[in-house]
Structure 1
């Protein structure tokens, strides 16, 4: 057994102690955490230190990894006790991180170069551990388990995907950050009761994982981009529905393929995406964060502030408007960039290919067609989107694409990065789409 596996095993055992909270109450849980923290300060060398220490702990002779792990668990537990977060979510989060890490370290010891396998095993083990922990907690509390399983499965899968993503982006021993981030996400999602049953959620998870792996295999997404896309897809299906997911996946599929369009020519011009065109997590989130917020808003929407059904409808149009913008901008950039004579959108002066804010008429047409694709899909899938709604989605996509170009010509590089520009552009498309729908509803 390698040292990382031994360390992960001890951390998993310590994570299991979180069950003391539902078994004996918060005071016993805090006392156990205090004992572990005291031990972490006392043990500064020797065999036990070697088992528990991360590489960076040796410099100061202090078990910082253990200390931060326990403190993160204590902080999350205190939040659960003092707020609406359930104890089951707290225990499930600790199990998710601890046992997911153990499973990954076991695979890593045998396949150190199998990054996809490691991420897959972590995600599966973390999800299983989270479901088991939530079920055990409900059993201890005397609650019925079966009615809560769909929610447990959704939360476990979402938390495992987020944890895998963060671990890919951060260092492997940043588990405290992962634990707190996952706990907060699951707390938020737990307030939004999924309408699907356990089987439907399992199917949704299978669909999103399969499509995510295809995107990675086709080299249109990195590992982090794949995990981000799967997480976004799962949340979209469960909280929005399969229609919302089709719109989202259409963007990922068409946008990813457009990145590969005449890639050799883009490399010659110096405008090709890095990493052979594979989209990373930043790119995925920059284009889809507003859409995700719209899905969450839709799930949490109340009809008490606006005419019946209108608030939920506005979130739907905000979603489609943001995706139309992302599609328009991606196609405009990926297709328009292969032409030699772009012009700066603010002055219409000729600029070099790849210049931020540079546009071509071919790119503008491609962008309009991209928005029209999103509008057509929405028209077919959503009864709320009639002919007028489809036209509004196209307009919103074009406006958002134009905002992206304007920001690129004025603020990108000095104030904003590329992902910030993408986020603000999709936000503008979402706002324009929702406001136009609201205006016509009021006038009509």
Structure 2
């Protein structure tokens, strides 16, 4: 057994001690954490040090990895007892990280396939989270334990799967010893999603189906090399959130962008590579690219769920978030098609001065790209019109308009701020945000859903 596996197993056992909190209360948990931290400072060498040490811990002879891990758990525990975060989220998060990690390390010893350990981590950490939630309910419920667990099962599975996907994504981006950051991030996501529980109406089977669909499509994007592992995990997580909190119609709109946008990156790829304007990694999009284009859409989904659960101040019309979602996706689609297709035609011109520029210049546009961008916005508007009764003909025109405006904002930001003040992902985010805002404002102005 390798050092990494032994260390992961030891950390998993320590994570199990989180169950002491629902049994004995926060003071018992604090005492355990203090004991572990003091022990970590006291142990500077020997077999126990070798068991718990990360490679970087040997330089200073201190178990800094363990110390920061426990401090992250303590921070999450403090949040759970001083805010509305449930102790259920705390326990579920700690077990998710601990047991998912040991399963991943064991899998890495048996296979060289990069995707298999990721899948095993997601499956086992989801199970660890669900088990942690169920045990915590059993330990804290005053009566009707089976009824409590039964009624909470859909939420338990949703929180576990969402947390597992986020943890796997962050672990792919960060180093192994960055699990404290992963733990805090997963805990905060679980807290947010738990607050949206009134908006959840799916059964366990329906959530499992949603997860299977998004995982299958995510793997297809990875197999087709339109997404990296991080990009795939980001897409699966965003897809799951969209289905559960919005619905399959929202998901179809979002996946249309991922599918068409991903395939457009392959359009005349060799030619774009020779010109120096092709996406890196053979066109496989990473998590930054996915989030830059889809973060605003997911915020709109969360806003829709929160407004449906009457959690948003002012009680805004939920349909407003639907149009903001469609406007942001229309912008992302327009911008992606404009860039990927337009970059191989003629000499682009800078949008601010219309002077000819070299291919790949930020803010450079071609008329072919503009046409492709408009077509992308029309596709999103057409899908929205077919799937949502709230989207009338006028609403579809508004979505197209928002997409075109957002695409133009992207080009203007590219010509003025990209490379100095903003990076590419920041430009994408602001452009999709502008598309969402324009769409929402136009809908309010025309009172389409009123």
Q: Deviations over 1:192-231 (max 9, x none)?
A: 0122111100000000000000000000000000000000
Q: Which residue of 2 aligns with 1:145?
A: 149
Displacement over 6 Å in runs of 4+: 303-306
Cα distance in 2 between the residues matched to 1:89 and 1:402: 42
Contact 2:390 2:449 in 1 (8 A): no
> What CA RMSD, in Å, does the superposition of the two structures yield over aligned residues?
1.6
Residue ranges of structure 2 left out of the alignment (5+ in a row): none
Shift in alpha-carbon separation, 1:305–1:149, aligned structure 2, 3 A = closer
SS in 1 for 2:265: helix
SS in 2 for 1:250: helix
Cα distance in 1 between the residues matched to 2:310 and 2:278: 48
Does residue 105 of structure 2 align to residue 101 of structure 1? no
SS in 2 for 1:174: helix
Q: Which residue of 1 aligns with 2:56?
A: 56
Q: Which residue of 2 aligns with 1:313?
A: 319
Contact 1:317 1:433 in 2 (8 A): yes
- Match runs of 1:2-81 below 5 Å: 2-81=2-81
- Match runs of 1:140-289 below 5 Å: 140-142=139-141, 143=145, 144-193=148-197, 194-289=200-295
Alpha-carbon shift at residue 82 of structure 1 (Å)? 1.1
Alpha-carbon shift at residue 305 of structure 1 (Å)? 11
Cα distance in 2 between the residues matched to 1:418 and 1:32: 46
Contact 1:303 1:309 in 2 (8 A): no
Cα distance in 2 between the residues matched to 1:431 and 1:438: 11
Does residue 379 of structure 2 align to residue 373 of structure 1? yes
SS in 2 for 1:84: coil
SS in 1 for 2:177: coil
SS in 1 for 2:227: coil
Alpha-carbon shift at residue 441 of structure 1 (Å)? 1.1
Alpha-carbon shift at residue 303 of structure 1 (Å)? 9.2
Contact 2:307 2:316 in 1 (8 A): no
Cα distance in 1 between the residues matched to 2:348 and 2:330: 23
How many residues are treated as equivalent by the alignment? 442
Shift in alpha-carbon separation, 1:303–1:15, aligned structure 2, 3 A = closer
Cα distance in 2 between the residues matched to 1:442 and 1:85: 38
Alpha-carbon shift at residue 310 of structure 1 (Å)? 6.0
Alpha-carbon shift at residue 341 of structure 1 (Å)? 1.0
Q: Deviations over 1:291-320 (max 9, x none)?
A: 0000000000169899x9962111000000
Cα distance in 1 between the residues matched to 2:442 and 2:269: 37
Contact 1:339 1:353 in 2 (8 A): no
Contact 1:7 1:52 in 2 (8 A): yes
Cα distance in 1 between the residues matched to 2:122 and 2:267: 32
Q: Which residue of 2 aligns with 1:130?
A: 129
Shift in alpha-carbon separation, 1:208–1:442, aligned structure 2, 3 A = closer
Shift in alpha-carbon separation, 1:171–1:304, aligned structure 2, 3 A = closer
Cα distance in 2 between the residues matched to 1:57 and 1:15: 20
Q: Which residue of 2 aligns with 1:291?
A: 297
Cα distance in 2 between the residues matched to 1:96 and 1:361: 50
Alpha-carbon shift at residue 110 of structure 1 (Å)? 2.2
Q: Which residue of 2 aligns with 1:396?
A: 402
SS in 2 for 1:415: coil
Contact 2:395 2:448 in 1 (8 A): no
